[in-house]
Amino acid sequence: MSRNVYLPYSVTSEKAHIKSMEQYREMHKKSLESTAQFWSEIASQFHWETPYDVNNFYSYNFDVTKGPVQIKWMEGATTNVCYNLLDKNVRNGMGDKVAFYWEGNDPEDYSKITYKKLLEEVCRFSNVLKSKGVVKGDRVAIYMPMVFEIVIAILSCARIGAVHSIVFAGFSSDSLAERMADCKCKVLVTADSVYRGDKLLNIKSLCDIAMDKAKNFGHEVPTCIVVRHLPRLYRSMNTSNGTNGSNSDIIDLHSDVPWTDGRDYWWHDEMDDVEPSCYPVWMSAEDPLFMLYTSGSTGKPKGVLHTTGGYLLYAATTFKYVFDYHPGDVYWCTADIGWITGHSYVVYGPLANGATSVIFEGTPFYPDNGRYWSIIEKYKVTQFYTAPTAIRALMKFGEEPVKKHNLDSLKVLGSVGEPINPEAWLWYYQNIGQERCSIADTFWQTETGGHVITPLPGCTPMKPGSASFPFFGVKPILLDESGKEIEGVGEGYLVFNKPWPGMMRTLFGNHERFQSVYFSKFPGYYCTGDGARRDEDGYFWVTGRVDDMLNVSGHLMSTAEVESVLTEHPDVSEAAVVSRPHPVKGECLYCFVTPNHGVTFTPKLSSELVKKVRESIGPFAMPDVIQHAPGLPKTRSGKIMRRVLRKVAINDREVGDISTLADEHIVEELFKNRPEKS
């Protein structure tokens, strides 16, 4: 075993679910060799209205040359995910247990909701959705801040068989419009506005613009339901039980919320008129549960579709083992529910385990840079799950803000979204985990539904920066360029040749694209788009994307997506975007822009372009650098040599072989044109 291996939580791990690597290996082996038995034992802990057949538990085809790609688990069985998350727990005596603590943007705003109350609210909202004509299979778009109502909306969809399609509320109106039109949502659920730090965001106004724009894409959103969130922040709302206060004494601050009668409805008005009970719709295990858009390398977002039975099993099982969750723990995942991390590890995984979690509306920097640590102290958080970009941003403020808080409750720390650099890992381990906690560096994707490569706390000896070993049911494979499997130590394309229950089933409305994006490069394999290395101890190290995707602060986006926004500008002729390493964001956008003939590249044009990307995609996609490119380095066949641009971005003159370029001189010119003189 190489040096720098850490094993802390295991020192106190008698209580851990998986106590040793030996036990892990045994279970992992069983999960691969007796797959049906392994997962059916887990499935037996849930309610099935129509039972599954252990002898016909799953089937799949990954080989496009042999027929359509398909993945099925427990087909024919029926259940309801919401029933398993709420009714089942309430029936098991957990009705009064807190499902979520809510911590508002302002530290004075906090609340909590029990399992029983959550169920009641979900039933009500299910009835509201039904009253708007939503039936099984319909899509419901959700664009909301981190408030209880987003969870209520999600679970209501699951209860009545509607497919939720959440769009992270940091996306622009263009992005929301495109996604709503693609999924043809029957309802949009949103909120009036929200504070992020001291910035007020008028979400409903943005939704109005998006609903207008969706019409241009050929879709009219019939109904919009709006949570009145802002006014309740103006009063003390710390009710001891239930949701964020009652609606009766909300001050009316909403005369300025844009409104379309006949389409827009207030959440609280609708909730007043409905019954607090609603019978769940029994869903086939392979019926869709939700869709979630992720960036595609051609620019158009892909609607990743997850189904009912397999996703439930996988979210529940990964949550239990990867965070070593035990009753009594208080778990906190900082991810926004609008991303897959929030779906699987704020909502589905924790509730499937009857867990108590924290939902946080704000930012790590408000009112000060110790906010995360103060929340951990306040709720005595035992498992904390965040992203490397947040850790790096907080590291900058040193240990002082951390030391002001008691973090002794922590047992497990999680990391997700991008490779965590060893420096950030060690800071997290030493200062937040006090060398006592395990760090779960979880590698996964929107497409995988849940963790696929991750250490298990109390069991896996950790190497900073390595996601280590596969989860149960998962067998990672490394392929070389020719598609040959690499045995032992080596680096290659990270792929899988067998499904686990939680992996996506298709791209919404586009099975062709699903097959061509993920299964065509190497027939017989699901291609993650990431590269990885296996070391001498068998640890996996995910090295990053091997396609034209960038990961900025854990947000995946494609170079094509940003380039197409830049070239929409009337003064721009051509654009090429590359990723440049960034100390906090991991990667950032470095854009090369060729203006139209006769147009001068000015600081004004540059700032217009930055603004345009921000407005078209979202603030997280804001470019760090726009560089004037009199021309782009192209091969004679016209392909942009991006590796050269990546070198220019970091001012590294070791550009390698450029003899195939149509015009080699352009490279020197690009170096000369760098806006930063470093």
Residue 652 is encoded by which pair of tokens?
């590294």
Among 110, 125, 425, 444, binds ligand WT7 (CB under 6 A): 444
State the nearest-atom distance from the C-beta of 345 to ligand WT7, in Å.
9
Q: Given the complex with ligand WT7, which of 223 and 442 has the nearer CB atom? A: 442
Among 247, 369, 421, 445, binds ligand WT7 (CB under 6 A): 445
x/- map, 327-356, ligand WT7, by CB under 6 A:
-------------xx---------------
Q: Which residues in 126-212 belong to E strands, given as ranges?
A: 139-143, 163-166, 187-191, 194-196, 199-201
Does the protein bind ligand WT7 through residue 556 (CB under 6 A)?
Answer: yes
x/- map, 499-518, ligand WT7, by CB under 6 A:
--------------------
Residue 468 is encoded by which pair of tokens?
């280590």
Q: Given the complex with ligand WT7, which of 265 and 319 has the nearer CB atom? A: 319
State the nearest-atom distance from the C-beta of 168 to ligand WT7, in Å.
10
Does the protein bind ligand WT7 through residue 205 (CB under 6 A)?
Answer: no
Q: Given the complex with ligand WT7, which of 94 and 340 has the nearer CB atom? A: 340
State the nearest-atom distance from the C-beta of 448 to ligand WT7, in Å.
7
Give the count of beta carbons closer than 10 Å to the beta carbon of residue 596: 11
Asked if 413 and 437 count as a contact pair (C-beta separation under 8 A), the reply is yes
State the nearest-atom distance from the C-beta of 418 to ligand WT7, in Å.
5
Residue 378 CB contacts under 8 Å (≥ 6 apart), including other chains:
103
**Residues in region 414-443 near ligand WT7 by CB under 6 A:** 416-419, 441-443
User: 535's torsion region: left (phi>0), alpha (psi -120 to 50) or beta?
Assistant: beta
State the nearest-atom distance from the C-beta of 524 to ligand WT7, in Å.
20
Q: Given the complex with ligand WT7, which of 223 and 344 has the nearer CB atom? A: 344
State the nearest-atom distance from the C-beta of 284 to ligand WT7, in Å.
26
State the nearest-atom distance from the C-beta of 412 to ligand WT7, in Å.
15
Among 88, 228, 392, 545, binds ligand WT7 (CB under 6 A): 545
Among 40, 307, 446, 606, binds ligand WT7 (CB under 6 A): 446
Interface with ligand WT7 by CB under 6 A: which range of 152-160, 260-268, 321-329, 548-556? 548-556
State the nearest-atom distance from the C-beta of 615 to ligand WT7, in Å.
21
Give the count of beta carbons closer than 10 Å to the beta carbon of residue 107: 15
Q: Given the complex with ligand WT7, which of 294 and 594 has the nearer CB atom? A: 294
HSE-CB of 480 using CA atoms within 13 angstroms: 8
Among 458, 499, 529, 633, binds ligand WT7 (CB under 6 A): 529
Asked if 550 and 579 count as a contact pair (C-beta separation under 8 A), the reply is yes
**Residues in region 618-657 near ligand WT7 by CB under 6 A:** none
Cis peptide, bond prior to residue 367, ω within 30 of zero: yes
The CA distance from 502 to 39, in Å, is 11
State the nearest-atom distance from the C-beta of 340 to ligand WT7, in Å.
5
State the nearest-atom distance from the C-beta of 542 to ligand WT7, in Å.
4
Q: Given the complex with ligand WT7, which of 443 and 592 has the nearer CB atom? A: 443
Helices 148-160 and 115-131 cross at an angle (nearest 10°) of 60
Size of the site for ligand WT7 (CB under 6 A): 22
Interface with ligand WT7 by CB under 6 A: which range of 3-11, 167-175, 551-559, 634-642? 551-559
Distances in Å between the Cα of 481 and the Cα atoms of 478, 491, 518, 572, 589 are 10, 10, 16, 36, 27
Q: b/e per residue, 38-77, with b = 16+ CB within 10 A?
A: bbbebbeebebeeebeeeebbeeebebeeeebebbbbbeb
Q: Given the complex with ligand WT7, which of 211 and 617 has the nearer CB atom? A: 617
Residue number of the CB closest to ligand WT7 reads: 446
> Parallel, antiparallel, or unpaired: how do β-strands 572-582 and 586-595 relate?
antiparallel
Look at the block and give the residue holding tokens 């724009």.
213
**Residues in region 362-401 near ligand WT7 by CB under 6 A:** none
Interface with ligand WT7 by CB under 6 A: which range of 54-62, 193-201, 413-421, 646-654? 413-421
Q: How far does Cα 231 stand from its chain's mean position?
A: 29
Instruction: Classify residue 93 by its DSSP letter.
Output: I
Does the protein bind ligand WT7 through residue 594 (CB under 6 A)?
Answer: no
Q: Given the complex with ligand WT7, which of 112 and 545 has the nearer CB atom? A: 545
Give the count of beta carbons closer than 10 Å to the beta carbon of residue 328: 8
State the nearest-atom distance from the C-beta of 611 to ligand WT7, in Å.
24
Does the protein bind ligand WT7 through residue 89 (CB under 6 A)?
Answer: no
Q: How far does Cα 122 stand from its chain's mean position?
A: 23
Q: Given the complex with ligand WT7, which of 308 and 442 has the nearer CB atom? A: 442
Q: Given the complex with ligand WT7, which of 165 and 442 has the nearer CB atom? A: 442
State the nearest-atom distance from the C-beta of 339 to ligand WT7, in Å.
6
The CA distance from 677 to 672, in Å, is 9
Residue 107 is encoded by which pair of tokens?
């530290």
x/- map, 461-480, ligand WT7, by CB under 6 A:
------x-------------
In DSSP notation, 446-511 reads GGGSS-SB---TTTSPB-TT--BSBPTT--EEEE-TTSPBPPSSEEEEEEESS--TTS--EETT-H
Look at the block and give the residue holding tokens 């979202």.
618
x/- map, 293-332, ligand WT7, by CB under 6 A:
-x--------------------------------------
Q: How buried is 253 (Cβ within 10 angstroms: 0-12 exposed, 13-18 middle, 19+ buried)?
A: middle
Q: What is the largest CA-CA distance in the chain?
A: 74
Look at the block and give the residue holding tokens 């044109």.
673
Distances in Å between the Cα of 648 and the Cα atoms of 126, 545, 627, 677 are 54, 20, 10, 12
**SS3 sequence of 613-671:** HHHHCCHHHCCCEEEECCCCCEECCCCECHHHHHHHHCCCCCCCCCCCECCCHHHHHHH
Among 31, 460, 528, 558, binds ligand WT7 (CB under 6 A): 528
State the nearest-atom distance from the C-beta of 109 to ligand WT7, in Å.
27
Length of the chain: 678
State the nearest-atom distance from the C-beta of 589 to ligand WT7, in Å.
16
Interface with ligand WT7 by CB under 6 A: which range of 189-197, 260-268, 320-328, 412-420? 412-420
Does the protein bind ligand WT7 through residue 551 (CB under 6 A)?
Answer: yes
Contacts to ligand WT7 by CB under 6 A:
294, 340-341, 416-419, 441-446, 467, 528-530, 542, 545, 551, 554, 556
